[in-house]
Structure 1
């Protein structure tokens, strides 16, 4: 993406049911245009040697927007002061409306282009608030998403341009330094073709060492099912553990494009990669890339076909003498014995930050149900073992609905070191501090709060937690 050129989950609580039902009515047209969307497939288990540094599983009520702790909306037809039409000649106006960007209630994000009665197109474009995604020295970075492209082909697809891609962090706020700051296109598609393109952009425009505006790219068809008729996993793996440094692109685990640092001069490579990146998801309409394959959109182009995104995750592996990856040690930037605000998580799945009326104000994490979790990196317990866990919780769960708040160290798959059960406390903002005994803990660890229940309904909100001796 050249920067210049169903059924709601049962976990939804009654307090949100009416709002979600109304929103679902507005979303129905978008959902109907997506081929059968399976129950959401959560992000795969983190492989040995890797640590998860970002995850959005897009769980939430149908018709709601994205988690703005993770994402920010790009709106209008350009960045402030940037090139017109997003620099690519595309014709849509990007919005933050749930008519264009919304969760479907089944664990997917839908980005849906629309056309009004006057022929004007709108669509959606979001990018991560974080701009620091890069491999450590001698290590690796893996960025992947499970996506179904807009399920439309032929003349009805002319002008469609869905993409999953990354831009170098120096671009944010500058908007004039492309392509020197680097662009990594993990998945691009046009015109409903059964093809995914992967490209590295760098150097100068036009021409230069990276052949701009084309870039260093390659394409392939999607395995087994077409890109439009099924979900596929699109992955970029940036490997600094090898020489020359390599950036590899995959679809469903098949490597079809690799760019190495030896393909360009050292200055070009350094300018394009010696910094963090942010992730972008969008569906453009028209522009240079569709123009190379017949153009559009035209009057025969059908609006309303969504790109569906099941999850986006970012993994990191540190360097080692053997070239493999090991999980980097926690940084020790949190004090176990001071209140850790629940909404200050490093990563999470299934929760939503909301305003709290508890003493001190701020936010809590809410809508927490079975299988949800939150990660807090680098919690320092010191040399004297912590044996107590305290959490500030509230619940308006229905009669008979309860669950466990669990503490796990360093991996969600490790056994809990302690837990407590919680049910209705008198309301979703009726707070109690509940203690629990834990196995003695010293040193510095990543702390996971995990939530387990025999029911699918939401059962707890969490404001803060801490540990004691």
Structure 2
């Protein structure tokens, strides 16, 4: 159970070397943000993200099998499928710690006022406050408790979620989460954190920051630094975590020489915990069993207290966490690392460094907001491939790209978007020259031809000069 902890901060970015040899050319090492698709006006983005038609969970890529899925299809105003989920109600587990062990103040219910389908393929978990100031909300858990990777294989748990669209003082106390608990916890309720907890996404107080954490060992302190755990954080890009949908995932990998658990935002791996970071007994106690998955929105508690405090008179109730789907995938060991084919959301943030194939690029740390990595040293003829980008049935008409350039005077080029072949006619492009430096970022919008369905997307780079002209961090599409 996610517990009281101090704020987590992103890992520091590395300083870049001024020059590096790459592909026979001497190229500046620079941070770049390229968003190749989708000029999103803020108003249009917010309107589209707030009421999307729920999409089906992506088809598993080669080497993976789907062991659980819920697309939350059903009649508006009805509850969840209780063959898949069970409600956790009240203010704690029977015989367990009060206030769910975290200090949160709401009462969880099974009422459709708090947990319901919206009729558009989404689940909504909505905190409410009554006239007396009492909060209610919702918490659901998978009935299954056996989610773990096979020996030598992988397990992936993912969901596409829009966080409650509320910020500032109105968001004080909101604590949405998508996470998993070790199966021995169910029915015991006092063996945390030794049985393990994997927080795939937590957010506090409407901030554009999400946290991923593994809890294990003993509390307080211990090998996993409880009650904070082993964690990191990052920001949503393109649209904020609150203004649009983003994909959150955890991949537990037993195919590597050292077992590891990786956490992703929109396909970007921003936090990894490895077995050799703790002693063997601690790791075994946390991982030698299955897990169950939890979705909830808490109000108040130690986590939000660390980010400015819990709910007060300015907090506005009624803002939902909107969940498009939850799925669990399993691989026997040969599955592709994320993002798998067909699992990229065109309207989320596609990280440029998450390419499936490339030619002529390098990957480096960025100093742009949110940190992470970008692709750089991009010049005429270079390209990057992103497989299985899902545009849905309503046509995308725009793209936007986060780019930076320290190109010399007179050096510029085109960032182009092509579908399914790098020699196909571009569906859109924009020109870019010097932006003030290889770490000086801007978001550039462009129009594209209408696109629906799922496609492999190529970013291609064309210039009349041989010199590098752009860095790319991420891209996204808009309607």
Q: Per the shorter chain, which TM-score range?
A: 0.5 to 0.7
Q: Post-superposition shift, 1:36?
A: 2.1
**Partner SS state of residue 173, structure 1:** coil
Is residue 98 of structure 2 the alignment partner of residue 84 of structure 1?
Answer: yes
**Partner SS state of residue 100, structure 2:** helix
In 2, Cα distance between the equivalents of 1:223 and 1:45? 25
**Partner SS state of residue 247, structure 1:** strand
Q: Give the number of the structure with larger relative contact order, counting CA–CA contacts within 8 Å between residues 6 or more apart.
A: 2
CA separation of 1:211 and 1:34: change in aligned 2, threshold 3 A: farther
Correspondent of 1:186 among 195, 200, 204: 200
Is residue 101 of structure 2 the alignment partner of residue 93 of structure 1?
Answer: no
- Corresponding residue number in structure 2 for 1:146: 160
Q: Is the 8 A contact 2:4 2:301 kept in 1?
A: no
In 1, Cα distance between the equivalents of 2:305 and 2:47? 24
**Partner SS state of residue 58, structure 1:** coil
Q: Post-superposition shift, 1:38?
A: 1.2
- Aligned residues between the structures: 298
TM (norm. structure 1) is 0.62
CA separation of 1:66 and 1:92: change in aligned 2, threshold 3 A: same
Q: Is the 8 A contact 2:214 2:273 kept in 1?
A: yes
**Partner SS state of residue 72, structure 1:** strand
- Corresponding residue number in structure 1 for 2:85: 71
Correspondent of 1:275 among 289, 311, 323: 289
Is residue 305 of structure 2 the alignment partner of residue 299 of structure 1?
Answer: no
Correspondent of 1:114 among 128, 145, 148: 128
- Corresponding residue number in structure 1 for 2:254: 240
Q: Is the 8 A contact 1:150 1:307 kept in 2?
A: yes
Q: Post-superposition shift, 1:144?
A: 0.1
Correspondent of 1:55 among 69, 75, 80: 69
- Corresponding residue number in structure 1 for 2:209: 195
Q: Post-superposition shift, 1:319?
A: 3.1
Q: Post-superposition shift, 1:60?
A: 0.2
- Corresponding residue number in structure 2 for 1:167: 181
Correspondent of 2:323 among 309, 333, 352: 309
Is residue 223 of structure 2 the alignment partner of residue 209 of structure 1?
Answer: yes
Q: Post-superposition shift, 1:223?
A: 2.0
In 2, Cα distance between the equivalents of 1:160 and 1:115? 12
- Corresponding residue number in structure 1 for 2:243: 229
Output one character per residue of 1:38-90: Cα deviation in whole Å (capped at 9) or x when no partner. Answer: 11121111110000000000000000000000000000000000000000000
Q: Is the 8 A contact 1:159 1:301 kept in 2?
A: yes
Q: Post-superposition shift, 1:130?
A: 0.1
**Partner SS state of residue 164, structure 1:** strand
In 1, Cα distance between the equivalents of 2:83 and 2:273? 32
Q: Post-superposition shift, 1:33?
A: 11
TM (norm. structure 2) is 0.61
**Partner SS state of residue 313, structure 1:** strand
Is residue 69 of structure 2 the alignment partner of residue 38 of structure 1?
Answer: no
Q: Is the 8 A contact 2:179 2:293 kept in 1?
A: yes
Q: CA RMSD in A?
A: 1.9
Q: Is the 8 A contact 1:33 1:306 kept in 2?
A: no
Q: Post-superposition shift, 1:139?
A: 0.2
Output one character per residue of 1:302-322: Cα deviation in whole Å (capped at 9) or x when no partner. Answer: 0000000000000000136x9
Q: Which runs of 5+ in 2 are unaligned?
A: 6-45, 339-479
Q: Post-superposition shift, 1:3?
A: 5.3
- Corresponding residue number in structure 2 for 1:136: 150
Q: Post-superposition shift, 1:296?
A: 1.5
In 2, Cα distance between the equivalents of 1:88 and 1:34? 34
**Partner SS state of residue 205, structure 1:** coil
**Partner SS state of residue 50, structure 2:** coil
CA separation of 1:131 and 1:315: change in aligned 2, threshold 3 A: same
**Partner SS state of residue 59, structure 2:** coil
Q: Is the 8 A contact 2:3 2:302 kept in 1?
A: no
Runs of 4+ in 1 over 6 A off after TM superposition: 322-325
In 2, Cα distance between the equivalents of 1:262 and 1:289? 27
In 1, Cα distance between the equivalents of 2:238 and 2:220? 37
Q: Post-superposition shift, 1:35?
A: 5.6
**Partner SS state of residue 319, structure 1:** coil
Q: Which runs of 5+ in 1 are unaligned?
A: 6-31, 326-469
In 2, Cα distance between the equivalents of 1:65 and 1:323? 35
**Partner SS state of residue 134, structure 1:** coil
